Chains A and B, each alone.
Chain A
Amino acid sequence: MATQLLRRRASQILSRANPNPSSPLSLARALSSDSAPIRATLFPGDGIGPEIAESVKQVFKGAEVPIEWEEHYVGDQIDPRTQSFLTWESLESVRRNGVGLKGPMATPIGKGHRSLNLTLRKELNLYANVRPCYSLSGYKTRYDDVNLITIRENTEGEYSGLEHQVVRGVVESLKIITRQASLRVAEYAFHYAKTHGRERVSAIHKANIMQKTDGLFLKCCREVAEKYPEITYKEVVIDNCCMMLVKNPALFDVLVMPNLYGDIISDLCAGLIGGLGLTPSCNIGEGGIALAEAVHGSAPDIAGKNLANPTALLLSAVTMLRHLNLHDKADRIQNAILNTIAEGKYRTADLGGSSTTTDFTRAICDHL
C-alpha cells in the first residue's frame, strides 16, 4: 500500500514536470526529495574553477541542499575512448547522475583531440543551451528591467563544422536545419515556459531571407506552439530582435533560436546584465540530463588568489536546482545571492568591490 502511494506520488511529480517520464533519472530525482541525497557530478575546471566550486559547495551546505557531489577533473592525457582529455568515467558519471555542474575549462591547445566542450556536447547529446538573464539589483548596468531566458539549439545550424574550399578563393559553409532538432528544442522551450510560469515565447529567425532553413525551424516552433495555447507565441526577425533588445529588453520573455543567432543573442543579453561573469547557463540533453556551467573563462591571472567572483557558477547551480524541481532551495539561494550583491557591502573586484571570494561566500551563507 505504501509503495503504491509512493509510486502514484512519483508519477504525479513526473507528469507535472518532466517531458521524459520514462527516464530512470527523473524517478530517482522525484523520490530523493524525500530521502537519499541526489548525486551530481562536479567539474571544478581550471584556473579559478576550484575556488568557485568550493564556494558553491559551501553555499549548498549552508542551505542544506540534498546534493552529494562527485568530483571529476580533466585528465592530462587523452582518453582514447573519448578522444579528449575528459575521461570516460567522468562522462559516465554525468550520464548516471543526470545532473552536473561545470566550471570554466581551458581547452589545451594542440591537435589530435576534440575540444572539451565539443566532447561534452556530443557525448551527452546536449541539445539546448538555456541562459536566464535578469538584471541584478545592486549591480547597475544601463538596463534595469531585463528578465528573459534565451534557449539556443546547440547541435546543428551554422556550427555543423561542414566547410570546404570549392576552388581557390571560394569557400562554402553549410548550415543544416533538421525537423528533429528544431522540434526538440521547441518542445523544451515551451515546456520550460510552462513550468516556470512564463507567458510568451518568441522564435527568432531570418526566414524572410533564409526561407527554407529558418522556415523549417519556424514551422516546427508553430507546431509545438499549438500544443500550448495558453502561451503567447511570436516570431521576430533577428535584426529587429537585436534592435528591440538594445532599446527595450523588457519586451522579451522566452526566446528560442537556432544555433548561430542563439550564440549572438545570448551573449548580447549577457552584456545587458553585466557580462559573462554574472551569467548562469545550463545545457539540456536527451533523457533529461542537465549540465549547468559557468560560461566565463578560467582567468588564470587571478587563479588561487581568492579574488574570483563565484556568482556565475552559483547562479548556474541554482538553475540546476530548478531543473531538479528543488524550487524552494533554489529561491533561497538565489535571493541570498541577489541580496548580498544588492547590499553592496561584500563585492568582488570585478563588481567594483574589494572582498575576497571567501568573504563573499560567507556573506551569502549569512543571508540564507
Chain B
Amino acid sequence: MSTSRRSVPLLKTLIAQKSQTRAVTYMPRPGDGAPRPVTLIPGDGIGPLVTSAVEQVMEAMHAPVYFEKYDVHGDMKRVPLEVIDSIKKNKVCLKGGLRTPMGGLPTRHENVDIVVIRENTEGEYSGLEHEVVPGVVESLKVITKFCSERIAKYAFEYAYLNNRKKVTAVHKANIMKLADGLFLESCREVATKYPSIKYNEIIVDNCCMQLVSKPEQFDVMVTPNLYGNLVANTAAGIAGGTGVMPGGNVGAEHAVFEQGASAGNVGKEKIVDQKKANPVALLLSSAMMLRHLQFPSFADRLENAVKRVISEGKYRTKDLGGYSTTQEVVDAVITNLD
C-alpha cells in the first residue's frame, strides 16, 4: 500500500522561524471545509497515549477531521479486514505504534533541516530468507527499476514543490554494484528532469559520518529501504530524538502517518504506566496529515503551538530532559493554539 516514508525534524527550523503574519493560504471550493474521516489506529504501548493527545488537540482546534478508531495490535497475525477497508475508503490513516513481535531540547547540532525519503516496499526488507544448509542462511535484497524510479520521482517532486535545493542519494554502490547501481541509475535519470535542483550521491557510511559532524550539508535525502531506516534514525538522534520526529508513509492511493523514526519506546512499560510518553512526534505527524488533506492553515496553527511549547521549555517529557506527563504537554499545546 505505501511506497515512501518521509520524516522531518522540524524542531530546529520551527524555533528559528519568525511568527506568522496574517495571510490567505487557499481559495476553497465549496464543500472543501467539510470534515474528513481519518482511520485511527492507536496501537500498542505508548500508542493509545499519544493518539489520544492528537484527538484532544484536533478537537480543541475544531479541525475538519473526525477519527474512525480501530484496535490493531502488533501480535495480530494480520491487519483485520475492516481496518484495511476503512483505510481504503478514507485514504488517510494515523497510527500510534505497533510492537513488532520478537522481541531535548539540548541537542548538539544546529541548523538541522533534513527530509529523509525512504523507499518502503523492497530492498533488504523483502522478507525473503532461507536456510541453505544448517548454519548457512541467505537473505535476498531485491531492487527494481520500477520502485527506485517511483521513489526518486517522489523525492524530486517533493523537493520541487517545497522549494528545497538539493537531493542526495544514499547508496553503497561501490560494493553492491548491481543492486545499488540500479537505484542510482534511476535517481540520475529523474534528476535530469529537474535541472534546477542539485543532485549528488553519497556512500552510506560516509553519509552517517557526515551526519554526525556536518548535518547542515544535507537537504532532501533519498534512500533504499535499509539505509533509509538507519539514516532516518541517525537524523532523528541529531535533531532531538524519536520523540519529536514526525513521519508519513505515502502511497499512490493512501497515506499513513506515524512517528518518523522507529521509537523502540513502543514497548516501554514504565513510560506507558506513568503516562510520560512524548506526544510531539505524533502531533507533528498529524500536522503533516493535515497538509496532506490540504488543510495547511490548521497544520500551521498546530505546528506553531507545538513549537511554542517546546521553546518555552516549561512542559517537556523525560526524553527531552523534562518531567512533564503526556497530558501536561497536550494541555500546554491546546492553550497555545491561536
Contact = CB atoms under 8 A, between A and B. Distances in A.
Interface of A: 141-143, 158-159, 161, 163-165, 168-180, 206-213, 215-216, 237-240, 242-247, 260, 263-268, 270-272, 274-276
Contacts of A158: 124, 141, 175-176
A41 to B, nearest CB: 27
B131 A268 contact: no
**B103, B109, B179, B236: residue with the most chain A Cβ atoms closer than 10 Å:** B179
B143 interface: yes
Q: Closest 5 CB pairs between A and B?
A: A246-B237, A271-B209, A179-B135, A169-B145, A267-B205
Given A208-B100, A212-B131, A212-B137, A268 B234 contact: yes
A163 B208 CA distance: 25
8 contacts: A171-B143, A173-B140, A206-B229, A212-B129, A213-B129, A243-B234, A267-B209, A271-B208
Given A176-B138, A216-B137, A247-B237, A275 B131 contact: no
A270 B146 CA distance: 35
B233 interface: yes
Nearest to B123: A173
B262 interface: yes
Given A174-B140, A240-B262, A212 B130 contact: yes
Given A158-B176, A239-B262, 7 more contacts: A142-B213, A174-B139, A179-B135, A209-B127, A242-B233, A246-B234, A266-B205
A212 B135 CA distance: 10
Interface string B112-140: 00000000000011010111001111111
A286 B181 CA distance: 33
Given A178-B135, A212-B131, A271-B212, A172 B109 contact: no
Nearest to B134: A179
B320 to A, nearest CB: 11
A239 B125 CA distance: 14
A137 B213 CA distance: 17
B197 interface: no
Nearest to A162: B138
A295 to B, nearest CB: 11
Contacts of A180: 135
B151 to A, nearest CB: 14
B144 interface: yes
B215 to A, nearest CB: 10
A212 B127 CA distance: 9
Interface in B189-248: 204-206, 208-213, 226-227, 229-230, 232-234, 236-238, 241-242
A50 to B, nearest CB: 26
B140 A271 contact: no
A275 B232 CA distance: 21
A142 B145 contact: no
B182 interface: yes
A337 B205 CA distance: 27
A139 to B, nearest CB: 12
Interface string B176-190: 111101100000000
Interface string B10-54: 000000000000000000000000000000000000000000000
Contact of B208 (A176, A247, A268): A268
Nearest to B145: A169
A215 B103 CA distance: 11
Contacts of B210: 271
B252 interface: no
**A165, A265, A271: residue with the most chain B Cβ atoms closer than 10 Å:** A271
Nearest to A263: B205
Contacts of B204: 264
Contact of A179 (B100, B127, B136, B140): B136
B102 interface: yes
Interface string B137-177: 11111111110000000000000000000000000100111
A173 to B, nearest CB: 4
A274 B208 CA distance: 13
Nearest to A182: B135
Given A141-B213, A159-B175, A238-B230, A208 B135 contact: no
